[in-house]
Amino acid sequence: MAAVLAPLTAHIASIKRRLLVITGAVAVSFVFTFAYAAELIAWLKRPFADDLIFYGPTEALFASIKVSFLAGVVLSLPVIFYQSWKFIEPALLPREQRWAIPLFGLAAGLFALGMVFCNLVILPLVIQFFVSFGMDRDLTPQLAVGTYIDFNVKFLVVFGFAFELPMVLTLLSRVGVVSPEILGHYRKHAVMAALILSAIVTPDATLFTMLLMAVPLMVLYELGILGARLFGRRPSAGKPNMAVNREMPVGPAGQRVR
């Protein structure tokens, strides 16, 4: 029992230590970005020409906290990915370790690319559409800063994670969990899932905002299929190779023991 509990205790201690490092990095980044909360809010309100207002005494404060926390998480991504890498590194073979760092870098780049695409393309279209819709009906737009920041942050986070989809599908195909044929077969289901997810995540369930989120998800799914075709595992012909590598130590969990 002691032989089993000792590695488990060390494993839990490693998780706690790395989570504390990540929490500290996010906290330090949050303190730094909070000093520039006004500039961050001004950047997000570019598509809206008028001034933002607030209705409650704490609304402006919480809006600043939300946008600063998001910026702090983005600023801490190198630390987050590095700590994640160091946590899983002992479980990887040398050949897999060579791929891990580029994959973490690619994941961070795709997340940032998704947020940039959302900020520069999607959000201006959405905000201008709804503001123009109200003004065409002789309504004066007065947007609360809390609602406006919630609207922006939700879109930014969703698009950041959505841009990871091609890499995730390619990796799943690479390890043999899925294949391009399976992904193509379930294309209709993926379209339905994208529409449902868009309806749940978007602040309003209008068709316009649903399509602005669902269509990029469908395109990213197709890119994932393409990545699976180019870099996925090739089907092996004939019987699988059951040969055992005698040079690699074998333990109770299999040949991944080094």
pLDDT digits (tens, 9 = 90+) for 69-94: 999 998 988 888 888 877 777 766 77
Domain presence at residue 210: no
pLDDT-derived band at 1 (thresholds 50, 70, 90) equals low
Half-sphere exposure of 124 (CA within 13 A, CB side): 9
At residue 173, the pLDDT reads 84
| pLDDT surpasses 80 at 19 | yes
Residue 195 lies in a domain: no
Q: Does a structural domain hold residue 129?
A: yes
Query: And the tokens for 19?
Result: 């989570």
Instruction: Decide: residue 156, CB within 10 A, 0-12 exposed, 13-18 middle, 19+ buried.
Output: buried
Reply yes or no on whether the pLDDT at 155 is more than 80: yes
16 vs 10: CA distance, rounded Å: 10
Cβ atoms within 10 Å of 20's Cβ, excluding its own: 11
Beta bridge partners of 144: 53
Model pLDDT for residues 90-101, shown as the tens digit of each residue? 766 777 677 777
Give per-residue pLDDT as tens, 40-76: 999 998 888 888 898 888 899 999 999 999 999 989 8
* Residue 10: domain span: 2-163
Would residue 78 count as lying in a domain?
Answer: yes
Half-sphere exposure in the Cβ direction for 66 (13 Å, CA):
20
Residue 238 or residue 106, greater confidence: 106
Q: Which residues contact 184 (CB under 8 A, 6 or more apart)?
A: 225
Residue 50 lies in a domain: yes
pLDDT given for residue 252 in this prediction: 47
pTM here?
A: 0.75
Residue 25 pLDDT more than 90?
yes
Tell me if 26 is assigned to some domain: yes
Q: Within a domain: residue 58?
A: yes
Q: How far is CA 177 from CA 59, 63, 136, in A?
A: 46, 41, 51
Does residue 226 belong to any structural domain of this protein?
no
* Domains of the chain: total: 1
- Mean pLDDT value across residues 9-33: 89
Read off the pLDDT of each residue in 109-136 and give the average, rounded to a whole number: 88
User: Is 51 buried (19+), middle (13-18) or exposed (0-12) by CB count in 10 A?
Assistant: exposed
- pLDDT at position 63 is 92
Where residue 253 falls among pLDDT bands split at 50, 70, 90?
very low
